[in-house]
Amino acid sequence: MTASGHGTARDGGEVRSLDDRGHADEVPDVTESPTSGGGTHRVTDESVARVLEETLAYARDREYTGWDYFDGMSSRFRQWLPVENKWLNIAVQEGIKRAPVNVRRLMLVERRQNFKGTALFVMANLAAADHLRDERYRREADRLTKWLLENRSRGYAGFCGGHQHATQGLHDRLRARHPGIVSTGYAVRALLTASNGEEYVDVAESAIPFVFEDLNYREIGDTARIDYHASDEAGETVVINANAIGARLLLDLHERQPRPRLRERAERILDYVAGQQAEIGGWVYTDPPSGSHLSMDNHHNGFILESFLRYREVTGSDRYDDTLKRGLEFYREILFEKSGAPNWDEESAYPKDVHAAAEGIVLFSAAGDTAFASRIIDWTLSNLYAGDGRFYYQKRRFYTKRFTLMRWCQAWMAFALGEYLRARERE
């Protein structure tokens, strides 16, 4: 498949339009929702599918390889410096990440294929295969799934993965491929989604000991928590959204093969997460809050709410319904504008980040509110879409960061558009 033109595909040398597919519904489905100006906007399933095709073609043409949000440590310029210093590492890493223009080429930052991003592309290709009825997308998803298996992190208790580049934190320098729950959780979802029969299930199942052993699962009273990254000792700071993602991983595997132990441990973790909900309805990034500069930022709150929705879907229980009701109200009313524009956190409207927009589409699609999800799509296409399958990184108050990051922009938007189309089909 190739990105030549809009919505075309290449398979073994044959090029044909993916629009000439003969959809069963001749009249495009339309989702309408009021805008902040009191009118309506229209997002059709056909237009969303077309952008999904273009977005996947852009990534496929580049073999899913590109720059990433947090990749400054792979700068050859930094590697040439003859000193190893934490603060120098942070200065280079954060300077590259926060620069108003993309300086990665100047700083000789390597383009790489991202583990988590690849998992998102697997699920986006599968959504395209189902919606467009084109098996070439399914073959592409299978190829990417095999890449996940080949590029997993080795030497741990079970299946896991991490970024392909090193990162520098305030306390530790994590080497390339150091695994964490976020990358692993999305990879497990990709394996289960891609699995025909039991092809990838056994590998996904092997992530369970990684969660319990390498991430230091521990029970404190009636609740439990895990670490964000693999470590020898339990950390003092707990990343709240990472715990929600860990609980979801257990629930995804419990759904495939019900086991009371997995459900019980997922509930213990989610009980902890629910207990961290603020009165306003959202969650700060860490416990204690002083462990991070982030407050109740947009996309991490979306991850948490997704996990509570997933619990209700898998178990049928109303255990967290009050948590969900308060959280969804906060997420929609505080972290998004009526126009569908994402706010950064509970206090700051800017930057308006493409990842926040994508996670909003995913979350509201999962919650059954495709009308509001379509509003976010409409805002994103108007403000952060280059028109050639490429999404921009951020809209700031006075300018837009008009560059593309393969995981942060492309993978997340492809995944989000695919999840929206799946939700529309469920409707």
Please report the DSSP string for 182-248 in residue order: HHHHHHHHHHHHH-STTTTHHHHHTHHHIIIIITT-EEETTEEE--SB--SS--SSEEHHHHHHHHH
3-state SS, residue 149: helix
CA dist 318 and 313 (Å) reads 10
Other beta carbons less than 10 A from residue 12's beta carbon: 5
Q: pTM (2 decimals)?
A: 0.88
45-69+111-426: which CATH number, 3.40.50.360, 1.50.10.20, 3.40.50.620, 3.40.30.10? 1.50.10.20
Specify the pLDDT at position 36: 37
Q: Which of 26-40, 238-252, 294-308, 395-409 has the lowest mean pLDDT?
A: 26-40
pLDDT over 90 (residue 33)? no
Binned at pLDDT 50, 70 and 90, residue 16 comes out as very low
Specify the pLDDT at position 28: 38
Tell me which residue has tokens 């597919």: 21
CA 46 to chain centre: 23
Specify the pLDDT at position 34: 39
Measured in degrees and rounded to the nearest 5, phi and psi for residue 35 equal -95, 175
322-360 burial, b if ≥16 CB within 10 A, otherwise e? ebbebbbebbbebbbbebbbbbbbbeeeebbbbbbbbbb
**Domain spans of the chain, in order of start:** 45-69+111-426, 72-109
pLDDT over 80 (residue 187)? yes
CA angle centred on 287, ends 239 and 285, rounded to 5°: 50
Condensed to tens digits (0 to 9), the pLDDT of residues 126-141 reads 999 999 999 999 999 9
Binned at pLDDT 50, 70 and 90, residue 172 comes out as confident
Distances (CA, A) of 280 to 189, 239, 292, 360: 31, 19, 19, 19
DSSP secondary structure code for residue 283 in this structure: -
Binned at pLDDT 50, 70 and 90, residue 194 comes out as very high
Condensed to tens digits (0 to 9), the pLDDT of residues 357-379 reads 999 999 999 999 999 999 999 99
Largest CA distance in the chain: 64
pLDDT over 90 (residue 393)? yes
CB 243 within 8 A of CB 251: no
3-state SS, residue 14: strand
Specify the pLDDT at position 167: 85
Measured in degrees and rounded to the nearest 5, phi and psi for residue 396 equal -90, 175
Q: Provide the percentage of residues in the chain whose pLDDT is more than 90.
A: 76
213-233 burial, b if ≥16 CB within 10 A, otherwise e? ebbbbeeeeebbbbbbbbeee
State the average pLDDT for the chain. 89
CA angle centred on 245, ends 315 and 69, rounded to 5°: 150
Condensed to tens digits (0 to 9), the pLDDT of residues 226-257 reads 999 999 889 899 999 999 999 999 999 999 99
Specify the pLDDT at position 197: 61
Specify the pLDDT at position 84: 87
- CA quadruple 281, 362, 241, 243: dihedral, nearest 10: 120
